[in-house]
Structure 1
């Protein structure tokens, strides 16, 4: 099977138990949980039995050790996760607002995450990479952008493929150079996985169909627009496939999109029909929201097959 690699942040996530706005007063908190969008993504890939690795950096602390142990236990190659003796592992505090939107306080750029680079271990991992997954949330520092773009060139030279999930947070969108980096990554992308309005960051269009068609003409072969509780829509040349969401008891939606993307990428790399890939991905997202903690709702293929069984794969 094809080996999947991602590059990006590994953090701990600490969650406010009470809904409200921001972090300007003492709150009840839950955590730390293993987290980071690329880490959640690659953990789900591993749970599906796909060979995979992550290039990242953590501190020499309990948070870093917890993350490395969790990823390794689930089957991720952690050999390219550097351990920095001077910087702390990244963190993200999240609080849900009454309407379900989220407020974040990040310590990423100035944590060990900010020191991610293609080390010798990273280059060894990339030498065996067939597919690179890029998370937009990881493109927060010039050095990481450079490492990601070098990795893309390595994969493309080997005849491999690239998927891209913008996964952009409002707190990060206006970081210097981020929009330009997004454009360069999209130009090399085969499979594009935006969430709802993110599609319009890359196309000046009146509606989703027009935006998707404009992006497909740039060389992207498949677009899957994640729509949360409204399901997902897949755009390929000459086809549009709608996938309804599965009913779920939502406890914590953090990580659901990463699990969805990981499942779709894995099925896509295995050459499975798009309808099956979408159904399994939707099932993965539904299971993810039913557990507290961003990485706690990852699924095995058997888990997903049981949920999909008999359900419509598309409408």
Structure 2
């Protein structure tokens, strides 16, 4: 992948800290050991990974004027993200997510996002200036949690599309989120505007009537989505467009923490796509980002540099050739 990411990539949405239970099967109904805080938030993880790949990028967001907010902003700055449109607000806290893990590998969360600073995101003059430089806008479905943020996202899409830019969309939602006010309408609106669609597994069927993968993909391509990348976790990923289908297996990885892997995958694919990579190359980069992400404890702890991603790909290719 060409290391020069000259196009400006922008996202918007929630920033929070993540605090994790340390024992499998631990509950939040009684005191127990925790680890954190870790900088987090799906669009924040995405943009951190993009910056670590050398992509010019920035984020529209809001955090509290507190330690958690400072932790996140400093992390993003250190990775190379333009943080000029991240507002630090007094009187509201930075968002939080407390996470616990079950024996079957599933996770449960206690969130404070809509009532946090993330619920006060707005298109500030700084956000407008960032969008004036944007060539591509990325949407996380998890960010469409309130009408206020939906307005910011839709405003950003209009601004980028008006000057010939492109939009990518990762649904990143749970079924219970579909009943949030305005969520279904917002998802449909974003899908109608996106060029690159990045669903995970069954998310594909939230947006199509067909009950099989091929039928759902055909339906979405007919509706104007030019590229679909279906994430399949340990089974890799599949790229679809009107020229056909390209599948790529995942890289082997010892999973320590799955949080953020899909966000890192998305960043890897979008960055490669923006730099003109073909489907196979973009999928390899994305899969490598996802594999590195699960190897470290903490949502951003495993975001890899371009050199690290290329090293993983080259090492895997050498080993598979033996």
For normalisation by structure 1, the TM-score amounts to 0.97
| CA RMSD between the two structures | 1.2
**Secondary structure in 1 matching 2:281:** helix
Q: Secondary structure at the match of 2:173?
A: coil
Correspondence for 1:219 among 219, 224, 240: 224
1:99 equivalent in structure 2: 104
Aligned to 1:72: 77
What's the CA shift for 1:21? Answer: 6.2
> Whole-Å Cα distance in 2 between the matches of residues 251 and 170 of structure 1?
26
Instruction: Tell me the alpha carbon deviations over residues 76-128 of structure 1, each in whole angstroms, 9 at most, x when there is no partner.
Output: 00000001101000001111111111101100000000000100100000000
Residues 64-87 of structure 1 deviation map (CA, whole Å, 9 limit, x = unaligned) = 001000000110000000011010
Aligned pairs for 1:125-204 (under 5 A) are: 125-204=130-209
Alpha-carbon distance in 2 for matches of 1:24, 1:179: 33
Structure 2 residue runs without a partner (length 5+): 1-5
Which SS does the other structure have where 1:194 is aligned? coil
1:82 aligns with 2:87: yes
- 1:228 counterpart = 2:227: no
> Partners of 2:38 and 2:135 in 1: how far apart?
29
Q: How much does 1:311 deviate?
A: 4.2
1:22 deviation in Å? Answer: 4.5
Greater helix share, 1 or 2?
2
1:160-181 deviations in whole A, cap 9, x for unaligned? 0000000003452321211111
**1-structure distance, mates of 2:164, 2:276:** 16
CA distance in structure 2 between the aligned counterparts of 1:170 and 1:210, rounded to whole angstroms: 21
Q: Does the residue aligned with 1:205 lie in a helix, a strand or coil?
A: coil
Structure 1 residue runs without a partner (length 5+)? none
Q: Which residue of 1 aligns with 2:297?
A: 292
Moved more, 17-26 or 267-276: 17-26
Residues 21, 103 of structure 1: 8 Å contact kept: no
SS of 1:3's equivalent in the other structure is strand
Matched residue, 2:244: 239
Residues 290 and 297 in structure 1, CA contact (< 8 A), matched pair in contact too? yes
2:42 corresponds to which residue?
Answer: 37
Q: State whether structure 2 residue 24 is matched by structure 1 residue 2.
A: no
Post-superposition CA distance 1:213-243 (Å, at most 9, x none): 1011111111011111111111111311111
Q: TM-score, normalised by structure 2?
A: 0.95
Runs (4+) of structure 1 moved beyond 6 Å?
none
